[in-house]
Structure 1
Amino acid sequence: MVKEFTEDDDALLAELGVEVEEKKAQTRTPREERIIAGFEEIQRFVEEHGRAPQHGEDRDIFERLYAVRLDRIREQADCRELVEPIDHQGLLAGSAPSSSSATDELDDDALLAELGVEAEAPPITELKHVRTSAEKKAAEEIANREKCEDFETFRPLFEQVQSELDSGLRETRPFEMKAEIQPGRFFIVGGQKAYVADMGETTITAQGRTDARLRVIFDNGTESSMLMRSLQRALNKDEAGRRITDPVAGPLFADHTIDGDEASGTIYVLRSKSDHPVVAENRDLVHKIGVTNMSVQKRIAGARLQPTFMMADVEVVATYELYNINRTRLEKLIHRIFEPARLDIEIMDRFGNPVVPREWFLVPLSVVDHAVERIKDGTIKGYAYDPTQARLVKREKF
């Protein structure tokens, strides 16, 4: 049983030469409470991961911020003294950043913010520290966001979107209007992919405009509860702000536009007016097939001076307008299909240098039409061009 000391006990101890320290009620300022709370967050990180937080672009932004905060606490004597009694993990024994690094002088509020202290805390003086670009980035990224606790639920979505961007199933386009912000859509803002996971009830602002609270998940594992208009402003302000289109499951391009479609370019089929013997003998079969994002007439202007047009004027025999398509990938697809019929001739450019044009094929126009239809219905991957039969044939394996 533990017996508490009484006043008589204190007097007896005093006679024995033992000083009794008078107990005082411990009070802390709001600033000190916040610094301790910030240090306890670092301790929880250490308990969870078994190590101190570290700097590095490949680290989670929360870990990077904890690393910055720990460095600042180690550097400031009053901060060290404050948290030393609770440092059961020996975190203060670590080394602070080298003073040889590039330094910036930071105002009191900014440093306190890095220590987990709000700007309204009482100011302190003469605070200097080392702050790398990585640390600055960490502080900026953390603003107005928090860790997404269920990010593993969303990670596969971001991976799928990236895969679909790589394959051309999705594209990015400039953000234009607030109406594009809907649940289930992806955007790029601040260099990060953002997913609108949820949208609350639509409200009307004092200015008569619609707004709603969003849950936005970012591909770096953070999330933000922001208003629709806030996301709109962020996308408009960001010159690189983009909307990621929805996947196109069926046709690669359409015969007509619908709301939200964006013209991507034109497939063109040309015939050459060249007097080259091979061309002259097969004029109805020799076709140049390409894809352009400009008007076809502009594309073929000055054809007689360009080796790609065989240094001769051309005739446009067919065009197909595209929507929501990756022009480069489509052109490669078409050229792969007709590769067995690629024309292999050499001409001289205007400087007398030999050139082999690469986009001309010995193929009937009707087969090009057939290929376009197969592209439109999504079955083209199952076909190849057979020059011996002058038609598309089904591939056994694809």
Structure 2
Amino acid sequence: MSESEGTGPVEVVFPTSIDAILDSDIDGLLDTKEKAAKVTASDRLERAFLEVVEFRRAHGRVPSSTTLEIAERKLGARLDGILASDDKIAALMELDEFGLLDKPEGPASIDDLLGSDDIDLLGDESGLLDVSDLPVRRQVHDSGEVARRTKAQDFEQYEPLFKQKHVELQEGTSKLLPYSGMTHIVPGAFFVLNGVMLFIAEVGETEYKKTTVRENKRERLRCVFENGTESSMYRQSLGIRLSDEDGHIIVQTDVPEILTDDEVSGYIYVLESLSDDPQIAALKDLHKIGFSRDSVERRIKNAVKSPTYLMAPVEVVATYRTYNLKASALENLLHRVFAEVRLDLTQVDRKGRNYDPSEWFIVPRGVIDQAIDLIISGDIVRYVYDSKAQRLVERGR
């Protein structure tokens, strides 16, 4: 060791053991970084899907995979990839609070297929597909399974309905439109087939018929005709006849726009929580308002495992079957009407992640029913929800 001028020797003491070395590392130079928890493929998939869910929550629609907006297009392509895999759909079903994973039904008829050709893939500028000059070949709707018309049972219950519908047509409150697809063949609908008015009184249970290629589903109808007869033809058979024989549907002239969207049927449902969590059980008039294209019972069967349902069993207190109605728009309207009383609560899911349920509202059941009626009538724009009075009131009052 050298000696500094005017001073004694400088002593440097070296540690004599590993522990001493570590103890002397006051700057933490020898600290090892903690190894990050391994991210599994399942974690990455769930995180990716939750980004799509957040986009739906923020914008009120699913992301598009064809938009010029790069960030949205990325999410849209991600959702398309998920929907193409049944395994991914099954793995993410519990996180799907908006029904993003519900598979849309295919077109019910050629008319529906052509009507949904938004980008004109089936366009025929050359006229190659024009068969208007060919002889018309009428299909013979007859087979061993054809439903013959018989005398209608309890026709006296339906006769006033036909008379009322004729009055509406004369007064202009109802009108005839060309038949436009099987999504309109629902209970309560009126059609005109070969000059005779018919009423869809009932739709039977779905039957499944296996072929060598696939399993087809079909449903028997109870069609009551104004001449006092009835038939139990299949829904598909009636659709074919209405298409081939220039059938018409009878619709109300003043139906609000929300009821004229050609949308697959679904359910608006209202649930009550059966949670034994004191924080939740103490909330009076707590209801979840949601939409499902599948049956409500199937949708809620895993409620106890999902933060969407507050990790607890639920009870269905009301369902509203929707036909030819953009039910997701109806759901969004209800959410906006009751936005002020949305439940402000953070749940923790089974993996320890925070989750904020977005479809629970503190509002009396009767007010929800009233709001749906006002939406259907188109008068909801004149009302707001008064949370203190717990009722809908006209704006400006």
- What TM-score comes out, normalization by structure 1 length? 0.38
Higher Cα Rg: structure 1 or 2? 1
